[in-house]
Amino acid sequence: MAGTAHAAAGALLSALVLAPGGARAQQAALTMAVGAPVTSLDPHYHQLSPNNAAASMIFDRLVNTDHQSRMVPGLATEWRVVEPTVWEFKLRPGVRFHNGQEFTADDVAFTIARVPNVPNSPSSFAIYTRPIREVQVVDPLTIRFRTEMPYPLMPMDMSNLFILDRQTHEGAATEDFNGGRAAVGTGPFRVVSHRNGDRIEFERNDAYWGDRPAFARVNYRMITNDAARTAALLAGDVEFIDQVPTSDLAKLRGDQRVALSEATGMRIIFLGLDHMRTDASPFVTDNNGQPLPRNPLKDVRVRRALSLAIDRHAIVDRVMEGAATPSGQYLPAGIYSHVPGLEAPRADPDAARRLLAEAGYPQGFRIQLNGPNDRYINDSRIIQAVGQMWTRIGVRTAVEAQPWPTFIGRAGRQEFSAFLVGWGSNPEGSHPLRNLSATWDRERGWGASNRGRYSNPELDRMIEQALSELDDAKREKILQDAQRLAMEDVAIIPLHIQTNIWAMRRNLAHTARADELTRAQDVRPAAAATSR
């Protein structure tokens, strides 16, 4: 390890002394540390970012996603709708699994059949296979999926499923993957060894069909303690870390030995409000502490006032130390169905006070803002800052932060009047809309995380319309209109979108990903980066 660090330092030094770009750091191995443990190498066991990151080093999907979460050809080279309810995927020829088995349409059929049948899955991938009524293998390199209704999200669903081999994985259990025997895919790396919750060792798959990774060997360690992970990087024990704590950002930015890479993520941090009650809301009172007869949060003017009171730029600047983007909608810019021109509202306390007065609360009222203290980056600091800003427009705010399990249980039972939560989105407007702002409906699975119980029939109708529109451009338009409607009605109060931050030794470069995945194929020597 020390030898690697020395070699790296030497390469860096010579690169500085000699002509820039002249000396290329020749490094065969990479040691990286991630903050969240990989819980399994079975790619269909648990929908969790760390697992998906490891899986996308070993396996491929029919549709891969690039660093901005755009869909790009993976094991499928093209896909199209052949009938309104039939999708056809053309598969990549000449692809082989790590053990030499050939990849064919039959392996895709096997994968689709396996996904819903993984025992004890804590968070199943079956939602991505459920719309498929019938799988038809047309020829070894063509496969068709028949659905009941027109289903535009099929390619996106396929970008979540890692493809296995029928010959290798028939009957393979999750334990076989964790032991390494069954961890055989078509991806850029093969597994050498795996110690659960501690480290995975990879070596490069030299027969990979796509871009060849820069490193022949990768040591993928899991260091969950933030301070320990940062310290390991500074000490040179590891060369690359993810989930850099914002309180360490200032120090790392000033450190000559370290470079940072960042990408706007897909996780929106927002405030939910009690839309359910028309009478008294549990944590809203008048200025003397007496319950109000009506829930002021039902009035859109009050909701707008609360949103306008918030200085999102101050929160991003002072609380998040720049590691976030202020937001006025569900999705970040550059993502499909992001609404152009819908900016984060500028703080305007005077306008907010006027709106409150118009709504009949010239003296404001009292409210309690709840939130977690261990789930999102700086969560309890954010709600205190919002508390300051609301108090300044006359809405005297008490702030209460709780551990996540307690908090989210109570939020799910509609116990709060106002609360902070986050949502990691898929790159498609229907995903946050359907989960966060559609009318709650257990049967349909809509509004599953709509904890304020916002309900707007017009919005529901638009989401429904979008979900059966196969034309991407038309669907995008409907989704943008739907999001605009939800934001005008202040269904939620968006605050900011978190930035994903990685840190590495200065001799490395990294393509930062919007989807939070930390993968070795995105890391390369810095000299190679400048030549690109």
Partner 1 sequence: MSSTTLGAAPVPAVPPKIETPFHRFVAEFAASPIAVGALVVFAIIALVAILAPWIAPQNPYDLAVLDIMDGRLEPGSVGGTGITHWLGTDDQGRDMLSGIMYGLRISLTVGAGSALIACLVGASLGMLAAYAGGRTDSAIMRLVDLQLSFPAILAALMILAFLGKGILNVVIAIVVVEWAYYARTVRGSALVERRREYIEAAQCLALPTHRVIFRHLLPNCLPPLIVVGTMQIARAIALEATLSFLGLGVPITEPSLGLLIANGYEYMLSGKYWISFYPGIALLVTIVSINLVGDQLRDVLNPRLKK
Query: Which spans of this chain sit near partner 1 (rule: CB under 8 A)?
Result: 227, 230, 245, 247-251, 311, 314-315, 318-319, 373, 380-381, 384-385, 387-389, 391-392, 396-401
- What is the 3-state composition of the chain as percent helix, strand, coil, each rounded to the nearest 5? 30, 25, 45
CB of 404 to partner 1, least distance (A): 12
Q: Minimum CB separation from partner 1 for residue 312, in Å?
A: 11
From the CB of 411, what's the least distance to partner 1, in Å? 17
> Would you say 21 or 405 has its CB closer to partner 1?
405
Please check whether residue 493 is in contact with residue 307, taking contact to mean a CB–CB distance below 8 angstroms. Answer: yes
> 500 with 512: CB under 8 angstroms?
yes
Q: What is the C-alpha to C-alpha distance for residues 493 and 247, in angstroms, rounded to an integer? A: 25
d(CA 403, CA 313): 26
In angstroms, what CA-CA distances link 117 with 43, 120, 125, 436? 13, 9, 10, 28
Shortest distance, CB of residue 233 to partner 1, whole angstroms? Answer: 12
CA distance 110 to 42: 15
Query: For partner 1, which is the closer residue by CB, 195 or 251?
Result: 251
Helices (H) and strands (E) in the chain, counts: 17, 20
Please check whether residue 280 is in contact with residue 293, taking contact to mean a CB–CB distance below 8 angstroms.
yes
Instruction: Report residue 450 as tokens.
Output: 């709509």
460, exposed or middle or buried, with CB in 10 Å at 0-12, 13-18, 19+?
buried
CB of 218 to partner 1, least distance (A): 28
Q: Closer CB to partner 1, residue 236 or residue 245?
A: 245
Nearer to partner 1, 269 or 315 (CB): 315
Q: Which residue's CB is nearer to partner 1, number 212 or number 251? A: 251
Q: Measured from the CB of residue 505, what is the shortest distance to partner 1 in angstroms?
A: 18
User: Min. distance of Cβ 300 from partner 1 in angstroms?
Assistant: 25
Q: Which amino acid is at 282?
A: P
**Which of 235/250 has CB closer to partner 1?**
250
Nearer CB in complex with partner 1: 96/392: 392
Structure tokens at 213: 């990774």
| φ, ψ at 523 (rounded to 5°) | -110, 140
Contacts of 35 (CB under 8 A, 6+ apart): 222, 223, 224, 226, 229, 241, 242, 243
Give the residue with the Cβ less far from partner 1, 86 or 377. 377
Q: How far is the CB of 483 from partner 1 (least distance, A)?
A: 28
In this structure, which amino acid lies at residue 272?
A: G
Rounded to a whole number of angstroms, the minimum distance from the CB of residue 387 to partner 1 is 5
476, 492 Cβ separation under 8 angstroms: no
Q: Between 54 and 389, whose beta carbon lies closer to partner 1? A: 389
Nearest to partner 1 of 57, 315 (CB atom): 315
HEC assignment per residue over 360-423: CCCCCCEEEEEEECCCCCCHHHHHHHHHHHHHHCCCEEEEEEECHHHHHHHHHCCCCCEEEEEE
Minimum CB–partner distance for residue 391 and partner 1 (Å): 4
> From the CB of 304, what's the least distance to partner 1, in Å?
21
Length of the chain: 532
Name the residue nearer to partner 1 (CB basis): 389 or 486.
389
For tokens 């200032």, name the residue. 250
CB 251, min distance to partner 1, A: 5
Nearer to partner 1, 183 or 347 (CB): 347
Task: Please choose, from the candidates 242, 396, 371, the residue with its C-alpha nearest in 3D space to the C-alpha of residue 319.
Answer: 371
List own/partner pairs for 143-146 with CB under 8 A and 24 or more apart.
143/88, 143/89, 143/91, 143/105, 143/108, 143/109, 144/82, 144/86, 144/87, 144/88, 144/89, 145/86, 145/87, 145/89, 145/112, 146/85, 146/86
Closest residue by Cα to residue 518 from 136, 139, 20, 50: 50
